[in-house]
Structure 1
Amino acid sequence: MITSTTDFGTDCAPEDQEDIDPMTLVGMWTRTAALTAPPLMSLATVGLDGYPRVRHVLLSESDATAVYFHTDSRSQKAAQIAQAPRGACALAWPAAGRQLVMHGDLRVAEPEQALRSYRERSRYLQILAWRNDSDLAHRPPAERRRAWARFDAENDELDPPPTWVGYALIPREIILWRGDPDGPSRRIAFRCNDSGAWNTEVLPG
């Protein structure tokens, strides 16, 4: 089954909240213990009809420039990204009082990043990437399960299917929200300017 984590990573010191590189902080917030399932991230794209579309995907990883997710190249989201390569995402940790939202530009991830992400996925998700197609979707439930079990039994080590594709969301704006049970919440917006530097603005919580 598809699993994700609600575990929060770590935060910076309060005095560094406005000056830290926001992508460093994104990595800190989303990085959890080894072998922990990846965080669940809401992802919004622009539909082919111009209306927004939103769904949840697993956050594969992040680095100094982007956050990454993976999908099937035949999916609706892939077609939407090809037409309008812009998106937004959000992650929330209610128990920790943290929320992260960002929007920016989307591009196809490098093949080696996509391969690494596939190999880090659970066995279930690796099989799903191969068997999640229209043909299987239209079969009766029992037949779908038999086909799944047969594929699992016949394949030991799996490489990603040709339809496996990764995307990088390169943020233009990142907003970090921190709750406070003893006082007002706080939001800090980081906006990337034309030179690639981050401008910081403290917003009402």
Structure 2
Amino acid sequence: MDSPFTQFGHWFDEASAREINDPNAMALASVSAEGRPSVRIVLMKGFDANGFVFYTNTQSRKGGELLANPFCALTFHWKTLERQVRIEGKASLVDDQEADDYYHSRPRGSQIGAWASEQSRPLPDRPTLEARVAEVESRYPEGEIPRPPHWTGFRVVPERVEFWQGMPYRLHDRLVYERAGDAWTAFRLFP
């Protein structure tokens, strides 16, 4: 295959058919200004030859880290298929239209939550969050809720993608793609 996106598409289709929960769940690793890694699970909301997209609050820890240092890594793990895909690359913001389109496709409660939550900041208690939700609901009782300026998507543009297939006796199959300009080179690794 000439790019990792074709292979990823095949594997993602199989995972979507067989994984019980969230086949689009991926671990996202970012790095703080102090050089400390941080990892969490996010949901991929799209992929194509331009990269892998997820959405978040840019004022969250991950948002701030990616804005300061765009180098990051993703991992998909599909246990039932004994597969994982590791992606290394750089994150950049999606354009406003793409962010608006996705934001308005979300359930109304999720749109309200994007306004109400000061993601990754200390929360004194649950009633504080509930009061913020009620305030946003009263501000937007009906009709379209605008996308918050701090809520958008990131596209991770891969520079390296590794496909790992579990095999008997730990003789796993590992196929790596590395970007060289606009082209990809592929090679295998020992398990």
CA distance in 2, matches of 1:48, 1:145: 32
Q: Show the 5 A alignment for 1:53-202.
A: 53-133=38-118, 138-149=123-134, 151-152=136-137, 154-180=141-167, 184-193=171-180, 195-202=181-188
Deviations 1:98-136 (A, max 9, x none): 1111101121111122122223334443222111127x9
Secondary structure in 2 matching 1:158: coil
Q: Deviations over 1:54-97 (max 9, x none)?
A: 11211111111210111112122222222222111111110121
Indicate the RMSD between aligned Cα atoms, in angstroms.
2.7
Given that 1:73 and 1:163 are in contact with CA atoms closer than 8 Å, whether structure 2 keeps it comes out as yes
**Amino acid in structure 1 at the alignment position of 2:6:** T
Larger relative strand fraction: 2
Indicate if the aligned counterparts of 1:38 and 1:60 stay in contact, CA closer than 8 A. Answer: no
* Runs (5+) with no aligned partner, structure 2: none
C-alpha displacement of 1:53 = 1.5
How many pairs are equivalent?
A: 183
> For 2:45 and 2:23, how far apart are their aligned partners in 1?
6
Secondary structure class of the residue paired with 1:157: coil
Pairwise CA distance, 1:200:
0.7
Matched, 1:50 2:32: no
Q: In 1, distance between residues paired with 2:10 and 2:45?
A: 14
User: 1:139 Cα deviation (Å)?
Assistant: 4.5
Does the 8 Å contact 2:60/2:118 carry over to 1? Answer: no
2-structure distance, mates of 1:146, 1:38? 33
- Give the TM-score of the pair, scaled to structure 1: 0.76
Residue 5 (structure 2) pairs with residue 23 (structure 1)? yes
Taking a change above 3 Å as real, the CA distance of residues 76 and 204 of structure 1, as seen in their structure-2 partners, is same
Conserved 8 A contact 1:23-1:63: yes
TM-aligned CA deviation for residue 182 of structure 1? 8.7
